[in-house]
């Protein structure tokens, strides 16, 4: 005597009936890189299909994104001038602030997330101020600048603040700063569980933010650690995080599941640049089928417990979902 599991796999319709995990357009958050340049739409060599886009070219991209059904985007700014303190990150008319304003004026119902970090704005590429003696990133001094960044992004119209810098205490500082500035209604999506990862390489090409010395290991987490993620989660919950990002996604599905089981706020998987580039490279070589592979990967993140997914594949996925429906 044995069980006949194949009974429920017999036809496409039966398989659909018993499907446990579903992916929707509402689950997706699409990253956009906005560059301070006169007139530019430049493809990032390590990320085929993803561009650095100047303000005047943003509208065509947004039309496309909106029409496909995406209602949530995360913006990254690439300033013309970088300096040691990342000044352009918290300038009220910096590239990210202007980008946010532009999106909200064109598509008021688009949910705009702002990546709150300094690495795109510092000339050394680190996520905060550098101690001149130890060359380490200074924690508490950096917090002040992050608060200024978050407030200027909220002022520009950002709907959600997504701090990714991994300084200790960033959630509580930013929460306080937002509240004091009258933005108590703006949620924080914390990138509090962010591993130091080789998968960020292509992003750093896109954001022109590769550190000019050292690495990010004194602030981003060691990929060997699972309990540490729980400690980061506890702090962020206590400090007032409204949503929690786990990043990267695919090599960290166990962490996504742990986080899902340990809190009641929405969990977000960041399907990072290197994960995107690997699929693109393999598919360009004809080694995998991109569409089925992408859908399998997205499903695995949702199955692991992610409620939302930040992914460079968002536009492709919307097309796949539309085709499935007909």
Please give the positions annotated as active site: 194, 247
Determine if 149 is a binding residue for ligand PBG (CB under 6 A): no
Nearer to ligand PBG, 127 or 317 (CB): 127
Collapsing DSSP to helix, strand or coil, 169 comes out as coil
C-beta closer to ligand PBG: residue 215 or 324: 215
Q: Which is nearer to ligand PBG, 76 or 323 (CB)?
A: 76
Distances (CA, A) of 249 to 23, 51, 75, 106, 122: 16, 22, 19, 31, 26
Binding part of the chain for ligand PBG, among 38-46, 104-112, 139-147, 200-208 by CB under 6 A, reads 200-208
Q: How far apart are CA 90 and CA 94, in angstroms?
A: 7
Cα–Cα distance for residue pair 159/161, rounded to 1 Å:
7
Residue 307 CB, nearest approach to ligand PBG (Å): 19
Cβ contacts of 158 within 8 Å, gap of 6 or more: 100, 112, 113, 114, 186
Instruction: Name the minimum Å distance from CB 210 to ligand PBG.
Output: 8
Task: Specify the residue for token string 């360009």.
Answer: 284
According to CB under 6 A, which one of 51, 90, 195, 200 is a site residue for ligand PBG? 200
- What is the total count of residues that contact ligand PBG (CB under 6 A)? 10
Residue 312 labelled as part of a binding site: yes
Member of 46, 52, 122, 164 binding ligand PBG (CB under 6 A) = 164
Alpha carbon distance 160, 205 (integer Å): 25
Which residue in the block uniquely carries the two structure tokens 């004194």? 218
119 is in an annotated binding site: yes
The binding track of 122-141 with respect to ligand PBG, each residue x by CB under 6 A or -, is -----x--------------
Collapse the DSSP code of 5 into the 3-class scheme (helix H, G, I; strand E, B; otherwise coil) and give the result.
helix
Q: Is 318 annotated as a binding residue?
A: no
Contacting residue, 53, 70, 75, 272, with ligand PBG by CB under 6 A: 272
Asked whether the beta carbons of 30 and 311 are under 8 A apart, the reply is: yes
* Least Cβ distance, residue 323 to ligand PBG (angstroms): 26
How near is the Cβ of 314 to ligand PBG at its closest, in Å?
Answer: 12
Whose tokens are 């695995």? That residue is: 300
Strand pairing class (41-44; 47-54): antiparallel
Q: Given candidates 204, 257, 260, 291, which one binds ligand PBG under the rule CB under 6 A?
A: 204
Q: Is 209 known to sit in a ligand binding site?
A: no
Alpha-carbon dihedral angle through residues 215, 216, 222, 223, given to the nearest 10 degrees: -80
DSSP structure string for 307-326: SEEEETTHHHHHHHHHHHH-
203/320 with CB nearer ligand PBG: 203
CB 165 → ligand PBG: shortest distance, Å? 6
Total Cβ atoms within 10 A of residue 22: 9
51 binds ligand PBG (CB under 6 A): no
Q: How many H-runs (helices) and E-runs (strands) does the chain carry?
A: 11, 10
Q: In this chain, which of 55, 75, 119, 229 binds ligand PBG, going by CB under 6 A?
A: 119
What length does the chain have?
Answer: 326
Judged by CB under 6 A, which stretch of 13-21, 34-42, 198-206, 253-261 contacts ligand PBG? Answer: 198-206
Strand partners, 42: 52
> With respect to ligand PBG, which residue has the nearer C-beta, 164 or 325?
164
- Name the binding residues for 5-aminolevulinate: 204, 216, 273, 312
Residue numbers at the binding site for ligand PBG (CB under 6 A): 115, 117, 119, 127, 164, 200, 203-204, 272-273
Q: Residues annotated in the binding site for Mg(2+), as ranges?
A: 232
């Amino acid at each position: 005597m044995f069980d006949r599991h194949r009974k429920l796999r017999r036809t496409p319709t039966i398989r659909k009936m018993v499907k446990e995990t579903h992916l929707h357009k509402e689950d997706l958050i699409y990253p956009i890189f906005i560059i301070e340049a006169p007139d530019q739409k430049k493809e990032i060599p390590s990320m085929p299909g993803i561009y650095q886009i100047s303000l005047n070219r943003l509208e065509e991209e947004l039309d496309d994104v909106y029409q496909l059904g995406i209602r949530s985007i995360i913006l990254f700014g690439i300033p013309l001038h970088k300096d040691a303190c990342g000044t352009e990150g918290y300038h009220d008319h910096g590239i990210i602030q202007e980008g946010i304003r532009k999106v909200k004026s064109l598509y008021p119902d688009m949910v705009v997330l702002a990546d709150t970090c300094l690495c795109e704005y510092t000339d050394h590429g680190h996520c905060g101020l550098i101690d001149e003696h130890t060359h380490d990133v200074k924690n508490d001094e950096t917090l002040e600048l992050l608060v200024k960044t978050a407030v200027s992004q909220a002022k520009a119209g950002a709907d959600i603040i997504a701090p990714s810098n991994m300084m200790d205490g960033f959630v509580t500082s930013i929460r306080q700063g937002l509240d004091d500035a009258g933005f108590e209604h703006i949620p924080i999506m914390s990138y509090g569980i962010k591993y130091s990862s080789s998968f960020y390489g292509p992003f750093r090409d896109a954001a022109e933010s590769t550190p000019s010395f050292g690495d990010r290991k004194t602030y981003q987490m060691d990929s060997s650690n699972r309990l540490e993620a729980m400690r980061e989660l506890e702090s962020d919950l206590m400090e007032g995080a409204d949503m929690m990002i786990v990043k990267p996604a695919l090599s960290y599905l166990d962490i996504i599941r742990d986080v899902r089981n340990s809190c009641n706020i929405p969990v977000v998987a960041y399907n990072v640049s290197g994960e995107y580039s690997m699929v693109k490279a393999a598919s360009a070589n004809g080694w995998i089928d991109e569409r089925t592979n992408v859908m399998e990967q997205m499903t695995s993140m949702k199955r692991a417990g992610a409620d939302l997914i930040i992914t460079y594949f968002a536009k492709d996925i919307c097309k796949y979902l539309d085709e499935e429906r007909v």
